[in-house]
Amino acid sequence: MPEGIYSLAGKRVYVAGHRGMVGSAIVRRLVSEGCEILTATRAELDLRRQDQVEAWMSRNRPDAVFLAAARVGGILANATYPADFLYDNLILQANVIHAAHKAHVEKLMFLGSSCIYPKFADQPIVEDSLLTGSLEPTNEWYAIAKIAGLKLCYAYRKQHGNDFISAMPTNLYGPEDNFDLGSSHVMPALIRKAHEAKINRQQEICIWGTGTPRREFLHVDDCADACLHLMKTYSADSHVNVGSGEDIAILELAHLVSQVVGFEGKIKRDPTKPDGTPRKLLNVDKLRSLGWSPKIGLKEGIADAYRSFLDGRYLERSNGATSSDLTDQNDISFERAETSALHAPPLSTVAHHPRA
């Protein structure tokens, strides 16, 4: 294992986006690091306002920053709000990165997404595949913003010598995920569909597309652990892929989710809906060489995500929200969901993560 180059012990660590799925997992993981954790709600700090961000950073003087705040969503949300996805993500990440530079932050990690890679990149996708082809049109707005963010970190390293690094996680899932069917990603959408079909005694559920695209998944607690590992052991220009190194077809995933949830009906496919990228598997050799590997298996992770759904530990966008309401993970525009899921019996075999 590489020798640690940066210690978080005794440091003031700011987690931007602490109410989102990734940010909350990083907060949970930081508890054992002996550091002071800094957070701010959107009511306290709007990351889209440069003056507010610079004033907050100057006042609080964090030593390290995890930039996990972002406007996120699935295919439908990206298609409906392209300007919001591009603008909000561009502006908030530029504000945080620049303010961190001005405040002399020792180290910053920018969290991106595997959607930054070309639609038809060679598989598994290596870090050098960036900007070698066209993006997947269904999420290009988010992808362009994330590419700009990691390049901005590189630019500050090159021009100013800032120790700013970037991590590119694969598809994440787990506690604090967004389970709204109009804006969620595939894993929480499948869990919710299967659960509601089970309790409503439906005979089938329907998934978008052909079911043939393959996706890689990583539990968010594994992602948080990998992020802290990189923060302590990595300092270089290139971004680092963060994933499990394994993928699964969407139809196969739907069957696995149904098994975990207890839904015994049929799974229909709707080929009139888009599939998205045919395959998206990350090459994680660089991360493995730094001494990190995931600990949570896919079936175990799905069961944990389902338990968090049953416990009401998730976020949900209102289906009636306007584009101006759907802001980044740093805020409280999500609402705690209160659905029939809360009345379902718990999964006794899944450990419960305490809320940070």
Higher-confidence position of 77 and 165: 165
Enter the DSSP assignment of 322.
-
- Look at residue 3 in the predicted model and tell me its pLDDT: 62
Closest alpha carbon to 220 in 195, 238, 243: 243
Q: Count other C-beta atoms under 10 Å from residue 192's C-beta.
A: 25
Dist. CA 134–CA 97, nearest whole Å: 27
Give residue-wise pLDDT tens across range 121-139: 999 999 999 999 999 888 8
Dist. CA 292–CA 227, nearest whole Å: 10
Catalytic choice (142, 154, 234, 314) = 142
Q: Between the CA atoms of 228, 232, 236 and 238, what dihedral angle is there, to the nearest 10 degrees?
A: -10
Give residue-wise pLDDT tens across range 209-266: 999 999 999 999 999 999 999 999 999 999 999 999 999 999 999 999 999 999 999 9
CA distances from 196 to 51, 76, 81, 237, 310 (A): 45, 20, 27, 45, 11
Q: Is 142 part of the annotated catalytic residue set? A: yes
